[in-house]
Amino acid sequence: MSYDQSRIRNFCIIAHIDHGKSTLADRILERTGVMKQRDMTDQVLDSMELERERGITIKSKAVRMPYVAKDGKEYILNLIDTPGHVDFTYEVSRALAACEGAILVVDASQGIEAQTLANVYMALEHDLEILPVINKIDLPSAQPEVVKQEIEDEIGLDCEGCPLVSAKQGIGIDDVLEDIVKNVPAPADDADAPLQALIFDSYYDNYRGAISSVRLKAGSVKVGDRIRMMAGNREFEVTEVGAYLPLGYSPKDSLNAGEVGYIAASIKDIADIRVGDTITLADNPAAEPLPGYKPVLPMVYCGIYPADGADYESLRDALEKLRLNDAALSYEPETSVALGYGFRCGFLGLLHMEIIQERLEREFDLDLVTTAPSVVYKVVKTDGETVFIDNPTNLPPVQEIDWMEEPMVDAQVITPQDYVGAIMELCQDKRGTFKDMKYIEGGRVLLKYDMPLNEVIYDFFDQLKSRTRGYASFDYELKGYARSDLVKLDMLLNGEQCDALSIIVHKDRAYPRGRSIAEKLKDAIPRQLFEIPIQAAIGGKVIARETVKALRKDVLAKCYGGDISRKKKLLEKQKEGKKRMRQVGSVAVPSEAFMAVLKMD
């Protein structure tokens, strides 16, 4: 089909987690024939094993689908998949910027949820045409009319004639496709202007190098063109352009304004492609980049160390490989007295951190020791210098600190009314400042708090889940820094400070945290030949103390009949166990102990 912008529809699907986004995407792929039914695995777009297991989308992808509509004309539908988690908000926002329309999937029984609203607001910010779709109408608990009313009342979207579907059963898929053709605006981009291609995703391909997923907002690009990354300010020669198939590439001669596809240019380092950046032509550059680019800044840091020091190189290689596909992951070598050689890694959020840790262990078969996550603190020193600290160990001495600031977030919780009390108590506990409370449809309440990020990364999700039996949903956005009374809490084992266990904490929380960590460590550290005092201290002042009692008895009574194999095996096992422990002064500390800092109660 020749290039005709009026026949292009660029859209994405937005939904609260579990409302059936991926299943609907699968049905659309199937219905348009780009995927044959026999090729379908569940949730084609979620190709990473981990994504499928967790039912979440981690990276965005795009697929081009030809579709002959009921009007007899052939259209090109570009489905841009977006990540579904708050950690990846920036990537979602870039993917939305590549579209003209968004399908809003709402579960016919659940109705609007926290992320539904968050996504809608984001889509509205990008001036997208929002097409509501009520999903899971096959469920006995489905109340499509109620949900439609809810959408009209709360979001103000017209739900007259909106498709009622069951993605699972394949009901109503045609209606969705016709809806897209009719109601998603065609792009209206200037094909003759200088090239402006928005990068909304990037990843690494072993044969093509680092690849940009792009939406052309102006101009065109073809093989052999010299392109420039406008924010990155680097130039490359285009080796391939094309469109995406569900499971591969469809190279084309050129990409033109309004189209979605990929650009390969033998780029070796994924870091040269920044999501949100604009690609233009080196010899005919656009005057301005497209708006909205911001560098991705990690919000959460933690130390990752190999459980066996000998695996340091493997860990570095693994991080390098993951980094190829994940520009948001950062890592720097660091050393810890307790843990040896490892890396300080930066993540977009807690989920991102968990995913990376899990992928390292699963895909690279590594045994890891991770330290408690930390946010980035701003420290203003008495000499006027401002430093940012992502590792508590690097905090300057108290006397050099004038004041400290910590990152704050706008936190938003949507909960059934019954749990409002419990959530307010939790947010209070977490040093939250109440901002707003709003009653919304269906007996639910929207709560807004200002909260320190360091409280959010410490056990907040688990607490929220357990206190609301999983009914509340949570969303947050970085707001900025606020001055705060923070202290460094150190843990001493047998009188020696263990750097990997230090945390930065609000002064008022230091005492209970210190006591709780000391208790956790007491349980995690096995008895040894000598008694081990565990102390929590601020500055030089001990605020909590526990003791691991000395080992009383550890001996195999009998080596029977000259069979020493058992004794040997036992010793081998103990030796192995000892190897997996970290030596802090004279104390052997098992890997799990370093995670003790993470858990509350």
Partner 1 sequence: MKPLSLYIHVPFCRSKCAYCDFASFPGREGEWGRYFEALWGEMEGWRDELSDREVATVFFGGGTPTLVDAGYIEETLARARRIWPFAPDAEITLEGNPGTLTPQKLAVYGRAGVNRLSMGAQSFDDGLLQSLGRIHTAAQIGEAVRMARGAGFSNINLDLMYALPGQTMAQWRDTLEAALGLGVPHISAYSLIVEEGTPMAARVARGEAVVPDDDAVNALQREAVSRLAAAGLARYEISNYARPGFECRHNLVYWNRGDYLGLGCAAHSLVDGTRFSNPATLDGYLSGARRLDQQRLTAADAMEETLMLSTRTTRGLDLAAWSAAFGAPFERGREAALAKLAAGGFIEISDGFLRLTPRGMQVQDAVVLELMEADE
Q: Using CB under 8 A as the criterion, which residues of the chain lie in contact with partner 1 when the complex forms?
A: 528-530, 551-565, 567-568, 570-571, 574-575, 578, 586
Rounded least distance, CB 526 to partner 1, Å: 10
Nearest to 491 by CA among 505, 478, 470: 505
Nearer to partner 1 by Cβ, of 570 and 600: the residue is 570
Rounded least distance, CB 567 to partner 1, Å: 6
Rounded least distance, CB 563 to partner 1, Å: 4
Three-state SS for 480?
strand
345 touches 396 (CB < 8 A) = no
Rounded least distance, CB 559 to partner 1, Å: 6
Nearer to partner 1 by Cβ, of 1 and 555: the residue is 555
- For residue 354, what is the DSSP state? H
186 touches 257 (CB < 8 A) = no
Nearer to partner 1 by Cβ, of 443 and 561: the residue is 561
Nearer to partner 1 by Cβ, of 485 and 563: the residue is 563
How far is 104 from 315, CA to CA, in rounded Å?
40
> Percent helix, strand and coil across the chain, each rounded to 5?
30, 35, 35
97 touches 260 (CB < 8 A) = no
Which residue reads 């999937």 in tokens? 105
Helices marked H in 260-413: 312-325, 350-363
Nearest to 113 by CA among 97, 138, 135: 135
Rounded least distance, CB 495 to partner 1, Å: 14
How are beta strands 486-493 and 496-497 bridged, if at all? antiparallel
Rounded least distance, CB 580 to partner 1, Å: 13
Helix (H) or strand (E) holding 253: none
Neighbours of 417 (CB within 10 A): 11
Nearer to partner 1 by Cβ, of 469 and 567: the residue is 567
Nearer to partner 1 by Cβ, of 36 and 552: the residue is 552
Nearer to partner 1 by Cβ, of 38 and 553: the residue is 553
Tell me phi and psi for residue 469, to 5 degrees: 50, 35
Neighbours of 581 (CB within 10 A): 17
357 touches 368 (CB < 8 A) = yes
How far is 514 from 522, CA to CA, in rounded Å?
12
Nearest to 420 by CA among 466, 468, 455: 468
Q: CA-CA distances (angstroms) from residue 398 to 38, 113, 285, 379, 488? A: 65, 45, 51, 11, 9
Nearer to partner 1 by Cβ, of 461 and 530: the residue is 530
Rounded least distance, CB 512 to partner 1, Å: 31
Rounded least distance, CB 558 to partner 1, Å: 5
Rounded least distance, CB 573 to partner 1, Å: 10
Nearer to partner 1 by Cβ, of 469 and 578: the residue is 578
Nearer to partner 1 by Cβ, of 247 and 571: the residue is 571
Rounded least distance, CB 523 to partner 1, Å: 17
Nearer to partner 1 by Cβ, of 507 and 568: the residue is 568
How far is 254 from 259, CA to CA, in rounded Å?
10
Rounded least distance, CB 590 to partner 1, Å: 15
Which residue reads 């509501």 in tokens? 132
Q: State whether the Cα torsion 281-286-290-291 is positive or negative.
A: positive
Phi-psi sector, 219: left (phi>0), alpha (psi -120 to 50), beta: left
